[in-house]
């Protein structure tokens, strides 16, 4: 993961060979638990979504996130270490339970600096629409493993700071309960990957 400066980032990864990473509902819950432990203390999570084969976050990186640490003989930003710990801890548990070996995730987690607020809004809507576009559900509010319900006010936020997300992204006036779908173009999506 290449993160060199503070700002808003789209962080994402998927299963090795596009295989599922979440096999049971308790896998999603365990991943969220690990996010509380390894990611939340290192950055502000503004939005997130977990899908059977991938995960996506919009996070705000601060100077604290970039503090250099040494892990396994390598020096890296704290946030990079957090995502490495998250994925290795999760993979270890899944591999043990499923009696499998090898990589669960693709080797390199991606981090894309969202250079403008428009890019960040695109990433926000992309990660909340992704499960609908993938045919997993018909409406964004039907998917349990994203921050969309948090933004609707239908549950207490698990991982993200909804107030900060609305303010940072300029979404304070949006009525999320109506299930607004912002149409995303290929040009928009090129700015977040």
Taken as a whole, the chain contains a residue count of 193
Tens-place pLDDT, residues 18-76: 999 999 999 999 999 999 999 999 999 999 999 999 999 999 999 999 999 998 899 99
Between these two residues, 155 and 98, which has the higher pLDDT value? 98
Tokens of 158: 């698990």
Strands (E), 38-174: 44-51, 54-61, 68-71, 74-77, 110-113
DSSP per-residue string spanning 62-96: -TTTT-EEEETTEEEEHHHHHHHHHHHHHHHHHHH
What pLDDT shows up at residue 48?
97
pTM of the model: 0.93
Q: Which H or E run includes 28?
A: helix 25-38
């Amino acid at each position: 993961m290449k993160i060199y400066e503070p700002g808003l980032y789209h962080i994402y990864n998927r299963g090795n060979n596009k295989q599922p990473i979440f096999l049971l509902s308790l896998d999603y819950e365990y991943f969220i638990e690990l996010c509380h432990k390894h990611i939340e203390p290192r950055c502000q999570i503004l939005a997130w979504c977990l899908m059977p084969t991938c995960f996506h976050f919009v996070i705000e990186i601060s100077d604290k996130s970039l503090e250099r640490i040494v892990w396994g003989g390598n020096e890296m930003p704290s946030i990079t270490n957090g995502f490495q710990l998250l994925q290795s801890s999760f993979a270890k548990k899944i591999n043990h339970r499923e009696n499998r070996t090898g990589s669960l995730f693709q080797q390199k987690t991606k981090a894309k600096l969202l250079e403008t607020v428009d890019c960040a809004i695109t990433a926000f809507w992309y990660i909340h629409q992704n499960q609908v576009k993938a045919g997993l559900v018909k409406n964004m509010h039907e998917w349990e493993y994203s921050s969309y319900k948090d933004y609707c006010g239908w549950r207490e936020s698990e991982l993200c700071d909804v107030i900060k997300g609305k303010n940072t992204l300029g979404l304070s006036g949006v009525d999320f309960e109506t299930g607004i779908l912002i149409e995303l173009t290929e040009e928009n999506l090129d700015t977040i990957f």
